[in-house]
Amino acid sequence: MKGDFRFPVEAGHILQFARAIGDPNPVYRDAAHARHAGFADVLAPPTFVQAADHLDPAYTRRPDLGSEGVLGASGQHDALLHVSQHFAYRRHPAAGETLLVRRRTPRRWTTTGRRGGHLEFVELVTDYVDETGVAAVTTTWTDVRSERGHRALSVAPESAPEIEPEPERKHDTEFGGAVVVRDLTRTQIVMYVGASGDYHPLHHDDDYAHRAGYPGVFAPGMLTMAMSARAVTDIVGDGVLEAVGGRLTRQVWPGDTLRVRVEPAGEEGRDFGVITVNQHGATVFDGNARTAEVHP
């Protein structure tokens, strides 16, 4: 298919990605540990395949140096807002293999927003195909464009008092779940930008963000989801997810503390609800996960 490209899954890139999402799991870092756990080599974190964007020759958020890149001729930022993301797994990739990345034709539709005006949705499905010709992972990325622009769909940082969980009971739902980042730094955001390949200036250039009407840079939605998925694998284990996904409901800003609540859903023992909140108790990710086997 025209536009397909190859994505080598490399141990060094996996390590860089794991560091950027703050996940110390040795299965992402130590080949001997990964093999002892039953994997061919260092395992890729659940959302790692997004880093294939580095190899996509047509990726618009990686501007050529000296060009206008994502700014476009008008100097304005892209009006699309990432609102949901889903991953489906036949298996989880590991270092040493090469995946063929296939972007399907985007699907588009429009609706009327609750506050009036048209909302245009764009859904992009991508298959990450292994050497057997089977899609090891399939992702579905959904963006929305508002007539009023990206800024109108954004949620500014909160000013309410912080609600701190007790670290020693981080998995107790009474205290809001597992802390996956405390006082998010711009450095971690930039580490994720570099690891994932999402170089949109709203995530690393304060001057650009101010000109676009924001109080400053904010985290890519996929960093929020990657940290949320980390909380899931901490509970259900490595390489057992069949699916994970959900809605990105608010932006995450430097200084935010995020905690994730993962709770059983349904009667099969394979489904989980995943809710990520900031230090003000506001939900920033509302999702779900499913395992390929029953979790005790």
Token pair of 133 as six digits: 């010709």
Instruction: Delineate the domains of the chain, giving CATH numbers in brackets.
Output: 5-291 (3.10.129.10)
pLDDT recorded at residue 166: 40
pLDDT digits (tens, 9 = 90+) for 13-37: 999 999 999 999 999 999 999 999 9
The residues, ordered by sequence, that sit 6+ positions from 3 with a Cβ below 8 Å of its Cβ are 58, 102, 103
In this prediction, residue 115 carries a pLDDT of: 58
DSSP 56-69: -TT-TTSPPTTS-G
| Chain CA centroid to CA 295, Å | 24
pLDDT, the chain, mean: 87
pLDDT band at 73 (very low <50, low <70, confident <90, very high): very low
Token digits for 201?
């200036």
Task: Give me the residue label for tokens 């140096």.
Answer: 65
- Contacts within 8 Å (CB) and 24+ apart, 268-273: 268/294, 269/294, 269/295, 269/296, 270/242, 270/294, 270/295, 272/232, 272/235, 272/236
Across 50-68, average pLDDT: 82
- Which amino acid is present at 296? P
What pLDDT, on the 0 to 100 scale, is given for residue 81? 87
pLDDT of residue 176: 55
Determine the residue type at 203: H
Kindly state the percentage of the chain with pLDDT values over 70: 82
Burial 154-193 (b: 16+ CB within 10 A, else e): beebeeeeeeebeeeebeeeebbbbbbbbebebebbebbb
Q: How confident is the model at residue 114 (pLDDT cuts 50, 70, 90)?
A: low
172-182, pLDDT tens digit by residue?
Answer: 444 358 999 99
pLDDT band at 119 (very low <50, low <70, confident <90, very high): confident
The whole-angstrom separation of Cα 219 and Cα 183 is 12
Residue 66, pLDDT score: 63
Share of the chain above pLDDT 90, in %: 72
Between these two residues, 165 and 19, which has the higher pLDDT value? 19
The rounded distance, in Å, linking the Cα atoms of 73 and 66 is 13
Please state whether the predicted TM-score (pTM) of the whole model is above 0.85: yes
Q: What is the mean pLDDT of residues 134-140?
A: 98
Among 30-44, 93-107, 136-150, the minimum mean pLDDT is found in 136-150
Residue of 32 and 210 predicted with greater confidence: 32
- Over residues 225-270, the pLDDT tens digits come to 999 999 999 999 999 999 999 999 999 999 999 999 999 998 788 9
